[in-house]
Chain A
Amino acid sequence: MVLKQIKDFLSQFGQGFKEASIDQIQRELEEMENAFALLICGSLSGMPAPPAFLSLCLLPYMERELKIMFSKTIFLDDKLAVWSDLVEL
């Protein structure tokens, strides 16, 4: 009985530990995806960045990254509109 309690405790403890580190990786992942999108969009808004040609080639495939980027931007109003203004499209 006691043994089982200890076992359960340990396994819960391990679970909590695993989740903490996976949450950390997940946060890191989102930061990286955000940075990737910022980098790709940089050339479209005049920041030092990879050639615009490359950015354009990648743009159709970056839905998730762009969403993360927009959700992290400091602009709280219509983010897409802000971005469109930025690239003057």
Chain B
Amino acid sequence: MNKIFFFLGKGGVGKTTLSASLAYYLREKNKTVYWASIDPAHNIYDLLSLPASPKVQKIEAGLWVEEIDVDRYLRRFLEHIQEKAQKVYQYLQILNLDKMFKVIKYTPAMEEYACLYALKEVFKKHEDKDYLIIDTPPTGLMLRIFSLPFVTELWLKELRHWREEILKRRQIVAHIKHVDFGPGAQLEFSKDKVFNELNAQQKDMQYLKDVFTNPKKTFLILVINPDKLSLLEGKRIVETLNKFGIPIKIVLLNKTGHSMELKELNFFNDLPQKKIPLFEGPFPKQVLLKIASLWVEDAYL
């Protein structure tokens, strides 16, 4: 089983820098690493001074990098739905995918689902790598992504129940009377496509929940700075994830200087923490490795 590291924290606290330090550290230990960002602001390539690319890039032996293009995943998902729908509904042929994409992209929670869908694909596609490192999008979005499998599962449970009741009644009616339920309509649970789709979705959500909550597989790293706003945001992250039973592995107090008398820091006292001082930039590989040596423990690996 490979391991997945997520870096969370307010904008600018050092998520990308610290995820880079872990990626290089793991490479020094000869592990294979897939390092990705689902941040729409995309800054892994900035840090590496490489031109942006929509593809997975191998930047050195055993190290792959990707800026996950969430829009592409959303588009692919919609294309897939459209293809299936067109087989059934002739009138959908008139729908224009570009228009549909624009509307649906701004439908509530659609971006979150696209991210979740992208993550699921990425987890499966890179199962062969020893470590997956995920640099996350802004906090609000990321917390909603983490909560989605839990929320969706409630809906799935409800819809499955409804569907079961519908199919049971169809069976009763068909047993006594000859009724044509129309094209595609099924009586058997195992043949009903709606029921099968609900089951498939439930399996996906269960898989994601298992990944998010497995403390042996998934490590959430919270990055904070000694400033009030990043600490408050860090607190919100811990509290929200707690509700879903997603544990924080370690808190990295990045950019620490001498003045550390913030009362907001007390909240994190019960969590394992490491301090990382302010470094003078820039951050070439050697510096990143030095940063890693301050916080990465072989116990995480």
Instruction: Give the interface size class of chain A.
Output: 20 to 34
Interchain CA distance A58-B169 in the complex, whole Å: 20
Q: Which of B89, B163, B169, B179 contacts A28 (CB 8 A)?
A: B169
Q: Which of B88, B113, B182 contacts A51 (CB 8 A)?
A: B113
Residue A14 is within 8 A (CB to CB) of chain B in the complex: no
Total B residues in contact with A, Cβ cutoff 8 Å? 48
Residue A82 is within 8 A (CB to CB) of chain B in the complex: no
Please name the residue on chain A nearest to B159 by beta carbon.
Answer: A50
With A32-B162, A56-B104, A61-B194 as given contacts, are A22 and B177 in contact (CB-CB < 8 Å)? Answer: yes
Interchain CA distance A51-B169 in the complex, whole Å: 26
Please name the residue on chain B nearest to A56 by beta carbon.
Answer: B81
Closest chain-A Cβ to B73's Cβ sits at a distance in Å of 12
Interchain CA distance A89-B96 in the complex, whole Å: 8
Residues of B contacting A84 in the complex (Cβ-Cβ under 8 angstroms): 95
Interchain CA distance A44-B109 in the complex, whole Å: 12
Please name the residue on chain B nearest to A35 by beta carbon.
Answer: B162
Interchain CA distance A87-B85 in the complex, whole Å: 16
Residues of B contacting A56 in the complex (Cβ-Cβ under 8 angstroms): 77-78, 81, 104
Cβ contact within 8 Å between B166 and A54: no
Please name the residue on chain A nearest to B94 by beta carbon.
Answer: A84
A47-61 CB contacts (< 8 Å) to partner B: 50-54, 56-61
Residue B172 is within 8 A (CB to CB) of chain A in the complex: yes
Residue B273 is within 8 A (CB to CB) of chain A in the complex: no
Residue A10 is within 8 A (CB to CB) of chain B in the complex: no
B284-300 CB contacts (< 8 Å) to partner A: none
Q: Mark A15-48, 1 if CB is under 8 A from B, else 0.
A: 0001100100110110011011001000110000
Most chain-B Cβ atoms within 10 A of its Cβ — which of A53, A56, A84? Answer: A53
Cβ contact within 8 Å between A36 and B166: yes
B interface vs A, CB < 8 Å? Answer: 77-78, 81, 84-85, 87-89, 91, 95, 99-100, 103-104, 107-110, 113, 117, 148, 151-152, 155-156, 158-159, 162-163, 165-166, 169-170, 172-173, 176-177, 179, 181-185, 193-194, 197-198, 201
A67-B182, A89-B100 known; 12 other A-B pairs, CB under 8 Å?
A22-B176, A26-B169, A51-B113, A52-B104, A52-B107, A52-B110, A54-B156, A60-B81, A60-B84, A60-B87, A63-B184, A89-B99
